Amino acid sequence: MIRTMPKRNIARGLFLAAVALFFGAKAARYPIGNLSHAGPGLFPLLISGLLLLVAVAMLVRSRYETSEQLYVNLKNITLIMLSLAGFVLAAQLVDAALAILVLVFVAGFAAPSFNWKRSLQITAGLIVVALALERFLGLNLGLF
C-alpha cells in the first residue's frame, strides 16, 4: 500500500539506531559516575552504546544481503491505536460503558467488513462481562 517503503533490514538497523540514540542522548545528561560508584546514567549509556554498535553492524551488513520490502498497513494499526485512546478518553470523560462502545466501533473498522449490528452485539456482551468483573472481582471500572 505504501510504495516508498525501505528494505526491511535497513529499516531494522535504522529503528534500532534510533532507539539507541534516543536513550543514549537522554542518559548522557544524567550523572554518569564511575564503575565503583555508578550514577544513574552509566548503565543506560553503556547499553545504548552497545545497541548502537549492533545497529551499525546491521546497517553495514544490509549492504551485502538482499531483503524484502518493509510492509506496513498503516490503516489497521492506526485504527487500533485510536480505539484504545478513545477507550481511555471516553472512560475518563464519561464512563466505561461508552468507552467499550468507542473501542468496539473504532476497532471494528479494522475488520475486513464492518457491521453495525455485530458491533452493537459485541458492545452489549462486553458490558455484561465488565459488569460481572465489577460485581464479582471488585474491579473499579466505573461502568455507568
Q: How far is CA 37 from CA 8, 49, 55, 122, in A?
A: 41, 20, 29, 56
Binding-site member from 2, 60, 118, 135 for other proteins (CB under 8 A): 118
Q: Contact letters (x/-) for other proteins, 62-101, by CB under 8 A?
A: ---x----xxxx--xx--xx-xxx-xx--xx-xx----x-
* Chain residues 1-40 in contact with other proteins, contact rule CB under 8 A: 8, 11-12, 15-16, 19-20, 23, 26-27, 30-31, 35-40
Degrees, nearest 5: CA angle 34-38-44: 105
Residue 102 sits in the site that holds other proteins (CB under 8 A): no
Residue 57 sits in the site that holds other proteins (CB under 8 A): yes
Q: How far is the CB of 123 from other proteins (least distance, A)?
A: 8
**How far is the C-alpha of 142 from the C-alpha of 124, rounded, in Å?**
16
* Chain residues 124-143 in contact with other proteins, contact rule CB under 8 A: 125-126, 129-130, 133, 137-143
Please count the residues of this chain forming the interface with other proteins, following the rule CB under 8 A. Answer: 72
Lookup: cell for 131 = 459488569
The 10 Å Cβ neighbour count of residue 111 is 12
Q: How far is the CB of 48 from other proteins (least distance, A)?
A: 6
Residue 112 sits in the site that holds other proteins (CB under 8 A): yes
Per residue, the 3-state secondary structure of 51-118, as one string, reads: HHHHHHHHHHHHCCCCCCECCCCHHHHHHHHHHHHHHHHHHHHCCHHHHHHHHHHHHHCCCCCCCHHH
Binding-site member from 47, 120, 124, 131 for other proteins (CB under 8 A): 47
